[in-house]
Amino acid sequence: MRFIKKNVGAIGIAFAAAWLLFIPAPANACTQRAPPLSYCGDPGCARVVCLTADNSWDCNYSAAGTACTGGWCDGGGYCTSNPPIVASTYDSGHCGCVDATWNAPRGALVLIESAGSAVKTIITALGEKYTHEMISQGPGSAAQSEYKGPTQSSSCNYPLDISSLEYGFPGMEKSMNIGAIYADLYGGNGLQYTQTSNDSLIWQLGDTTRATAIADALDAAPVMDVQVYAGNVVHRILKNGSPSPYGLHQFMDIETLNLGSGGSSLNNTSVSSTFIAYAYALGGPPMTAYDYGHDETVRAAFDFRDYVYNECYAQVPWYIKGWANPAQLFGCGAGQVCQNTANMILNCTALGGAYCGSSWVDWGIAMNQSTTHARSISPDRLGGHTRFMNENPRPTTYAADPEHFVSWNAGGRVCGCFE
């Protein structure tokens, strides 16, 4: 359940900044006795330092991959025998390379919390946590529904290309290799890479028979390959004989997509969470959708609108690649361009279809109707988190399983793209 992402390269800068913060203070700066070296971890990977700002003792950790006795530092103060995993991204974060595999079992639900994304704004307004998800197809493969984002147009009134907004690329895709998975997770998604991860990146398996059936169905799904970078393709899943684009209206109304192959949706679309609901039904009985209240739906819509407008106005190109100054491009004020941009995205989300081509406040009129509310499936519902934690029977077989942190194990280098 997510739009856009990406950047990992600031890790070295962060360590450099941290080193400057932890320059040893004069001997009399910290008046309390210094803690033992083990306070911070292994001496070869951590040291105790005095913070001059408040005269307190703290830890300074060596960068992950630094050589230590018996192996390499993990970045958290300990020496591990696990070799450092080397990874990189290219094509503006849409592709990546990594010499690793992940531990998410075949058929497992993988849940991701991406901070600072557009979808996080919606999820936070609803009091939920996770923003995106995948189905693991094995140690080096996954399926998902993804959105690269709409492209710009040369119109002040319609600053987004309507087709790319209504029919998001790539939509449902499968057999992403581990390089593509790494790029999707860490190429600018707001996640901080750690080899052992945390609760921002988890997997749940539950019923192994059901999980295997889901993975088998995805393996068998027909695809259309589309080249996205020299020598790299994405495998777009064909639903009802055609690619299934990413459709923002699925946030508002899942329709019957959660019923699997017998279900349907406007323009044959999905978002990441409703794709998982669709795939879940390919492996057994379908899950049910959830009706959100009117007030929380309206709150999420207005928060989403504010996010889009503010990001546009600040000229942060999370959905329009290569925009310079909107006023210079379109001959009208940046405020007007960003207002029209926000309206187009909100219309496409709240109403869908032809409304994706409107920059009027149709969505606001819809939100004023007391019966307006979202009916969909979120990442948290798939895994049984937050408001769904105590739901019985559990919303999915995944939800019956406790969360497991995603971890990475060294393997052969693999490169790939996800959009």
Give the pLDDT score at 74. Answer: 75
Give every CB contact of residue 11 below 8 A, 6+ residues apart in sequence.
63, 192, 193
Tally the C-alpha atoms within 13 A of residue 330's C-alpha that lie toward its C-beta: 23
pLDDT of residue 238: 98
| Regions of the chain where pLDDT drops below 50 | 2-27, 316-329
Asked whether residue 4 is domain-assigned, the answer is: no
Of the candidates 342, 304, 167, the residue with the CA atom closest to the CA atom of residue 247 = 167
Within a domain: 233 = yes
Taking a C-beta distance cutoff of 8 angstroms, is the pair 264, 281 a contact? no
Residue 312, SS3 per DSSP: helix
Domain that holds residue 16: 11-80
Q: Are residues 122 and 33 in the same domain?
A: no
At position 276, the amino acid (one-letter code) is: I
SS3 59: strand
- Rounded CA separation 398/395 (Å): 8
Peptide bond into 170 cis (omega under 30): yes
Q: Among candidates 160, 214, 182, 179, which has minimal Cα distance to 345?
A: 160
DSSP symbol at 208: H
What pTM did the predictor assign? 0.79
Whole-angstrom Cα distance, residue 241 to residue 126? 35
Give the per-residue pLDDT at 192: 57
Q: Residue 348 in 3-state DSSP?
A: helix
Whether residue 160 sits in one domain with residue 232? yes
Instruction: Give the strand pairing for 201-204 and 132-138.
Output: unpaired
The CB density around residue 317, as the number of other CB atoms within 10 Å, is 15
In a domain, 272, yes or no: yes
Q: Look at residue 264 and tell me if it is in a domain.
A: yes
Residue written as tokens 């699925």?
250
The backbone torsions φ and ψ at residue 176, rounded to the nearest 5 degrees and listed phi first, read: -65, 130
pLDDT on residue 70 = 83
Q: Is residue 412 part of a domain?
A: no
* Token representation of residue 121: 């704004």
* Residue-level pLDDT at 197: 55
Together in a domain, 215 and 152: yes
Q: Are 19 and 134 in contact (CB under 8 A)?
A: no
Report yes or no on 87 lying in a domain: no
Q: What is the pLDDT of residue 3?
A: 47
Whether residue 214 is found in the same domain as residue 287: yes
pLDDT of residue 12: 36
- Read off the tokens for 163: 């087709």
Asked if 72 and 121 sit in the same domain, the reply is no
Look at the chain and report how many structural domains it folds into.
2
> What would the 3-class secondary structure string for 150-195 be?
CCECCCCCCCECHHHHHCECEEEEEEEEHHHHHHHHHCCCCCCCCC
